[in-house]
Amino acid sequence: MKKTKIFRGKKLIFLLILCIIVPSLNVRAQERVFPKDNDLVIVIDPGHGGTDTGTQGGRIQERFMNLITAQALVNRLNQYEGVTVYMTRFDNDTTLSLTERAVYAKSVDADFVFSIHYNACVLHDRFGIETYTSRISPYNAYGYQFGDLLMKKYESQYGIFPRGVKTRKGLRTEGDYYTIISANIYRDIPAVIIEHCFADGVVDAQHTMSDDQFRSYGETDADAIAEFFGLKSTVLGIDYSGYSDNLCYADPASFNDQTYEDRTNPENVSVSLVSIDPVSCSVTIHVEGSDSDGMMLYYALSTDGGWTWEPPEVWPSANALTGTYDSSFDLTIPFESGDRPSIVIKGYNRYDGYLKSNQITFVDRFNGQDMPLYRV
């Protein structure tokens, strides 16, 4: 992979060429994102606030979770040297529009905006951390680099599942759907939304039990930001200054796959029968799945023909940061004597698009001894 410096433009000639072929907006960002003279300015944006409560599905309303995390983030980031940190809604619970937040970030000459959120979904069954970044180069590359680094920390420190760095296209524009991103990009400020985990889900419930956890995520965010910008803290005894070179090299084009928004469902999800154990009443099936312009991320099982579903599980070997997953796997499903299952699998991609498989339907009930009849 060809690597190009995007954060520190030492090659003047290269930059001059870029000035001609890409909009000046992008070139300014390349020069500013990694300040050379200790004037790094970070804006932390606790999402929602005031009349905008955010998701209500968690232990407390999202506007409060975001604030607790953001405050801990700011406290810790302030212990690093060479960075000035601002918050959009400070230590209170004001109602603030998304554009007002970006205007504020511009007024303090921000180099990067991090918007702090917790997630929720309609079925309350999803889990994991994800970040949203701009679809527009080079902002997508900045966002990808940061999100990748952040999610690896969350996976190793908390066991929170990485759902990947994502983008979302605006409804009527080629730009970004989320205003906190588009309004900042418009002002030449890279912005990332961090959806820490699902406040409303069973799996992530263990990660959203206490204020201490919300604070701890803020501190992890601060360390990720410090690592991303190669900062050092004498007080904390942390020195990321040696890390910065690695993180500041990237070819925005190489991130297209990861930040590509997959708007279609998986192409293939199918099941076939491997074996039946009539005595223990278990069935082993072979599951195949593919999504050529994305990846398989979760699967869910139904044993009543799709009327009810088990909570989604991680698709074997799915890694949302690399886009890799197993093309097939075997699954053994235990039943009880008297059951007459109808087995069907739902395979989900990274954007929660899904496809239902064919069905394996048992004609006879399991009785603990005879081989039941079935059809595929």
- Report the residue number whose CB is nearest to Zn ion: 117
CA–CA separation, 301 vs 295, rounded Å? 18
Shortest Cβ 103–Zn ion spacing (Å)? 20
Cβ-count burial 106-117 (b if 16+ within 10 Å, e if not): beeebbbbbbbb
Binding mask 65-104 for Zn ion (x = CB under 5 A): ----------------------------------------
- Written as one letter, the residue type at 198 is F
Sole window of 13-21, 52-60, 240-248, 317-325 interacting with Zn ion (rule: CB under 5 A):
52-60
Rounded Cα gap, residues 163 and 195, in angstroms: 10
Cα separation, 40 vs 239, in Å, equals 16
The CA distance from 143 to 99, in Å, is: 20
41-49, 196-204, 218-226, 336-344 -> range binding Zn ion (CB under 5 A): 41-49
Report the residue number, 47 or 147, with the smaller CB distance to Zn ion.
47
Task: Give the residue with the Cβ less far from Zn ion, 116 or 345.
Answer: 116
CB of 117 to Zn ion, least distance (A): 4
Supply angle C-alpha 11, 188, 67, rounded to 5: 120
Q: In the complex, what is the shortest distance from the CB of residue 199 to Zn ion, in angstroms, rounded to a whole number?
A: 9
The token duo for 122 is: 């309609």
Task: Provide the 10 A C-beta neighbour count for residue 31.
Answer: 13
Stretch that binds Zn ion, among 43-51, 102-110, 276-284, 367-375 (CB under 5 A): 43-51
In whole angstroms, give the CA distance from residue 147 to residue 135.
14
CB 358 within 8 A of CB 271: yes
Binding mask 105-134 for Zn ion (x = CB under 5 A): ------------x-----------------
Taking contact as CB under 5 A, which single stretch among the options 6-14, 51-59, 90-98, 350-358 is the one that binds Zn ion?
Answer: 51-59
The strand pairing partners of 349, in sequence order, are 296
Minimum CB separation of residue 46 from Zn ion in Å reads 10
Binding residues with Zn ion: total (CB under 5 A) = 3
Min dist. Cβ of residue 193 to Zn ion (A): 8
State the Cα–Cα distance between residues 60 and 234, nearest whole angstrom.
Answer: 35
Identify which of residues 54 and 312 has a Cβ nearer to Zn ion in the complex.
54
In the bound complex, what is the minimum distance in angstroms from residue 52's beta carbon to Zn ion?
A: 9
Instruction: Assess 47 for contact with Zn ion (CB under 5 A).
Output: yes
> Cβ(313)–Cβ(339) under 8 Å?
no
Region of 70 please: left (phi>0), alpha (psi -120 to 50) or beta. Answer: alpha
Q: Binding segment for Zn ion among 22-30, 50-58, 154-162, 366-374 (CB under 5 A)?
A: 50-58
Which position among 54, 162, 218, 294 is part of the footprint of Zn ion (CB under 5 A)?
54
Closest distance of CB 213 from Zn ion, Å: 17
Residues of this chain that interact with Zn ion (CB under 5 A) are: 47, 54, 117
